[in-house]
């Protein structure tokens, strides 16, 4: 049922590099989210989108940016990665008119050296 995909699954990069984490869903969901999660910790909302050309910052301050040019695609970009960005990044989508369920991608585990 969960047709939401994230790439890459794992990424190790050096400080200062620009990276883009990809997220795509084939369910036609309008709302999409990015969460950041450290091991064993809670999920922190960093960005969300109501639909095409809509992007909002979440409750956790983040140096990343997002774009929503197509319904199915919601990439997250870090212009200059730092070791403090090391974390798991989870993308999720929500069916219109519902408020009970998020569909999550498999996540991207980012390590910045």
Locus of tokens 């040019």: 69
- CA-wise closest residue to 2 among 97, 95, 104: 104
Helix (H, G, I), strand (E, B) or coil at 43: coil
Which lies closer to another protein via its Cβ, residue 19 or residue 33?
33
Min separation Cβ 24 and another protein, Å:
15
Which lies closer to another protein via its Cβ, residue 14 or residue 40?
40
Q: Which residues are at the interface with another protein (CB under 8 A)?
A: 2, 31, 33, 35, 39-43, 45, 48, 50, 58-59, 90, 92, 94, 99-107, 109
């Amino acid at each position: 049922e969960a047709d939401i995909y994230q790439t890459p699954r794992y990424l190790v990069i050096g400080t200062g590099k620009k990276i883009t984490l990809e997220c795509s869903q084939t369910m036609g969901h309008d709302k999409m989210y990015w969460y950041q999660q450290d091991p064993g910790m809670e999920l922190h909302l960093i960005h969300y989108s109501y639909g095409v050309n809509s992007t909002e910052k979440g409750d956790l301050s983040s140096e990343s940016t997002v774009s929503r040019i197509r319904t199915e695609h919601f990439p997250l970009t870090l212009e200059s990665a730092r070791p403090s960005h090391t974390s798991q990044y989870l993308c999720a989508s929500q069916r219109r008119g519902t408020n009970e369920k998020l569909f999550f991608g498999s996540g991207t585990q980012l390590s910045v050296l």
